[in-house]
Amino acid sequence: MTDVKKDYLDLTQLIERLHRRFLDVLRAELGRMGVKELNAVQALLMSNIGTEEIAIRDLIERGYYQGSNVSYNIKKLTDMGYLEQERSQHDRRSVTVRLTPKALEVVQRLHEAEDVNADAIINVGLSAEDLSGCADILRKIERTWTDYIRYGGD
């Protein structure tokens, strides 16, 4: 196996582990906040909605979630008072969601925890340029994978 292929496989496994570890970070922060009814995926969903009013299909199309996953979590979050849903006046099949003040408070506290984590990353010797370069590389990989999905491997 060439070094590039080995590095690529290592990177794909690292991306998967980092995502799981990030969910662990969210889970730990929810625990510190005393928020027991939310899971990490629901917290991430709320964070991605932010202050927007967004159609559920847009969450799916942006690639954040799979259809059944997002539908289940939207229902749970609505039932727990974290989301408000509204059917579109123009297309009754389309449903938009927005965070309630209760959810906005949780998201704000999660953003504060992200600030602490960003500082911790800088404190271990990574610079803003390092993070920016890493983000650029990951965006290029995302674009490559998106093109592969759309157009195939040829």
Q: What is the pLDDT of residues 107-138, one digit of tens each?
A: 999 999 999 999 999 889 899 899 999 999 99
Cβ neighbors of 113 (< 8 A, separation 6 or more) are 25, 29
Q: Given the DSSP bridges, would you call strands 54-55 and 95-99 parallel, antiparallel or unpaired?
A: antiparallel
Q: What is the pLDDT of residue 131?
A: 92
Q: What is the pLDDT of residue 11?
A: 94
CATH topology of domain 3-123: Arc Repressor Mutant, subunit A (1.10.10)
What is the average pLDDT value for the chain, to the nearest integer? 90
Kindly tell me if the per-residue pLDDT of 90 is higher than 90: no
Q: What is the pLDDT of residue 59?
A: 81
